[in-house]
Amino acid sequence: MIEIPELAAGALAAGTVSAFVLGGGLVKARRSTGRQRAETEALRARLVAAREEVEAAREELDDLTAAFTAELAHLAGTRMPAAATHAAHPHYQVPGPQQPELGGAELAAGLDAVLDGLRTAIAQERKRVDAAARAGMRGATREIQAGLYRLQDVLRGLQERYDDPELAQTLYALDHENEQSLRRAQVAAVVCGAWVGLARGESYLVEAVTGGQSRLAGYDRVEVHNHLDDGTGLISHAVEPVAIIVAELLDNALRHSSPDTTVGVHLERVHHGVSVTVDDAGVGMSSDERAHAQRMVAGEEPILLSELGDPPRMGLAAIGQLTRQFDLSVDLSSPSPYGGVRAVLLVRDHLLCTIAPEERKPAAAAPRSTRETAAEDTTHTLAADETPAASAPARPAADDAELPRRRRRVRTDAPSAPAPGTPRPAAHRSPEEQAAALGALQAATAAAREERPAHPPHDTAGDHPGTGEHREGNTPDE
């Protein structure tokens, strides 16, 4: 049997162990409760912070919404109208977004895409409207041209029927006015995409230039200097385009220069064809105006009617149409040495041809080539002198001054046709003939000097009767 003290000791030990166990569990429970309380407080703090963040995000979203709404209003009310104006007037600036930092690059790209779509739609609509306007104007100009051609036939018939000088002068003035109206209608038709209106055969290039000159008011201020070889012509389908281009270049030169100045036209042979250079002494153009004019005449991109101003200025646009259609080129990039504008028309070799003068004689009013005049004057000078200067005998001293001298003889006893290359009196010559005669005289003088010895024999000076030319021996006076 177990004794009572031992039993009590065992119970006490068991109770002690239980107490320790229960105490450890209580401590653990308290620690767990503390941790839970801390976690609860942390969660509560995080919830409060989250609520604050939500409120801040809501306020920021409201601000972004207001800013985006303002940006859309700026896009619709300012930028899109400015883009529409820029489509018609490229110098007009389109403003950027009010807040470039709003939404970053993606939002800015989206807004720019909206403007690009608007520009595309506007461009398509402008082209459609412009095509409709061109079609309507093309039909109207066709009827106007037909009426002007009929009026031209009537006026020329009256000119052939009546011989009264005053009536003839009036008819010629009316014919010239009709020609100017016809040119304006023709230019408008060309700008609208119509054909040039006339079909011609091969023609001398100088005749195409003078034909364009004759269509202008103030044509008498134009001086044409023809330095081309005889027979230089244009193929049939290039005659009228060249005449139109020259007429428009001359019209600009005459309009923007003083009425007391002249406009010079020089026809020269160049490496790739023939150049027609127009120089005026007018007001000139600024660099921006020259760049715009060069873009117009280049014909590299179509020009809308709405870009021609009000009232529309169609001359340069017509040149651009023709240069693009007929492979011509016009350069306005360099100023004239006379202070105005220099325009150079280049007619390439594939548009040129050679016309035999014996098959088709040039027009009487067309300026003669200085090459031909120089050759004829040189031949005439050599024929007038019986012997070359190098083989002439030595002349005696001054006491034998009574000996006859060789002079160019000019008949004065009876009227006769002037020798080839001899200019007519200035009172009976047109401005074109005066310019050609001056160029011929200079070319003939240079050619004659090249043909003579460097040191001719000396002789007493004499004056040529009827010419006023001073000669020394057998050489021209230098």
| Residue 254, in any domain of the structure | yes
Q: Name residues whose C-beta falls within 8 Å of residue 143's C-beta, 6 or more positions apart in sequence.
A: none
- Asked whether residue 178 falls in the same domain as residue 285, the answer is yes
pLDDT of residue 420: 35
| Cα(312)–Cα(330) distance, integer angstroms | 21
Phi, psi (deg, nearest 5) at residue 111? -65, -40
| Residue 395, in any domain of the structure | no
Per-residue HEC secondary structure of 133-145 comes to HHHHHHHHHHHHH
Q: Name residues whose C-beta falls within 8 Å of residue 450's C-beta, 6 or more positions apart in sequence.
A: none
156-to-159, 200, 201, 224, 402 alpha-carbon distances in Å: 5, 19, 21, 26, 61
| Cα(4)–Cα(189) distance, integer angstroms | 140
pLDDT of residue 460: 35
| Residue 206, in any domain of the structure | yes
pLDDT of residue 81: 87
Q: Which residue has the tokens 């350069």?
A: 331
| Residue 311, in any domain of the structure | yes
The distance of Cα 371 from the centroid of its chain, to the nearest Å, equals 32
pLDDT of residue 154: 93
- Asked whether residue 173 falls in the same domain as residue 48, the answer is no
| Cα(374)–Cα(76) distance, integer angstroms | 72
pLDDT tens, 74-92? 888 888 888 888 877 777 8
- How many CB atoms within 10 Å of residue 71? 20
Per-residue HEC secondary structure of the chain comes to CCCHHHHHHHHHHHHHHHHHHHHHHHHHHHHHHHHHHHHHHHHHHHHHHHHHHHHHHHHHHHHHHHHHHHHHHHHHHHHHHHHHHHHHCCCCCCCCCCCCCCCHHHHHHHHHHHHHHHHHHHHHHHHHHHHHHHHHHHHHHHHHHHHHHHHHHHHHHHHHHCCCHHHHHHHHHHHHHHHHHHHHHHHHHHHCCCCCCCCCCCEEHHHHHHHHHCCCCCHHHEEEEECCCCCEEECHHHHHHHHHHHHHHHHHHHHCCCCCCCEEEEEEEECCEEEEEEECCCCCCCHHHHHHHHHHHHCCCCCCHHHCCCCCCCHHHHHHHHHHHHCCEEECCCECCCCCEEEEEEEEHHHEEECCCCCCCCCCCCCCCHHHHHHHHHHHHHHHCCCCHHHCCCCCCHHHCCCCCCCCCCCCCCCCCCCCCCCCCHHHCCHHHHHHHHHHHHHHHHHHHHHCCCCCCCCCCEECCCCCCEEECCEECC
331: left (phi over 0), alpha (psi -120 to 50) or beta: beta
- Asked whether residue 260 falls in the same domain as residue 303, the answer is yes
- Asked whether residue 318 falls in the same domain as residue 434, the answer is no
- Asked whether residue 150 falls in the same domain as residue 254, the answer is yes
Is 171 within 8 Å of 155 (Cβ atoms)?
A: yes
- Asked whether residue 208 falls in the same domain as residue 335, the answer is yes
| Residue 120, in any domain of the structure | no
pLDDT of residue 150: 92
| Residue 122, in any domain of the structure | no
Phi, psi (deg, nearest 5) at residue 170? -65, -40
Residue spans of the chain under pLDDT 70:
1-4, 103-104, 197-199, 372-478
- Asked whether residue 287 falls in the same domain as residue 233, the answer is yes
Q: Is the peptide bond before 311 cis (omega within 30 degrees of 0)?
A: yes
- How many CB atoms within 10 Å of residue 151? 15
| Residue 124, in any domain of the structure | no
| Residue 157, in any domain of the structure | yes
- Asked whether residue 202 falls in the same domain as residue 66, the answer is no
pLDDT of residue 467: 35
Q: Name residues whose C-beta falls within 8 Å of residue 123's C-beta, 6 or more positions apart in sequence.
A: 87
CA nearest to 79, candidates 126, 121, 116, 127:
116
- Asked whether residue 78 falls in the same domain as residue 204, the answer is no
Q: What is the CATH number for 288?
A: 3.30.565.10
In the chain, what is the straight-line distance between the N-terminal and C-terminal CA atoms, in Å? 172
Q: Which residue has the tokens 């930028």?
A: 79
- Asked whether residue 254 falls in the same domain as residue 148, the answer is yes
Domain that includes residue 63, residue range: 27-102
pLDDT tens, 180-221? 998 899 999 999 888 886 667 889 999 999 988 888 888 889
Phi, psi (deg, nearest 5) at residue 373? -65, -40
Is 448 within 8 Å of 373 (Cβ atoms)?
A: no
- Asked whether residue 304 falls in the same domain as residue 160, the answer is yes
Q: Cα torsion for 365, 187, 256, 442, to the nearest 10°?
A: -30
Angle, helices 80-88 vs 104-161, to 10°: value is 30
- Asked whether residue 345 falls in the same domain as residue 379, the answer is no
- Evaluate the CA torsion angle 208, 210, 213, 214 in order and state its sign: negative
The distance of Cα 458 from the centroid of its chain, to the nearest Å, equals 57
Number of structural domains (the chain) is 3
pLDDT of residue 361: 84
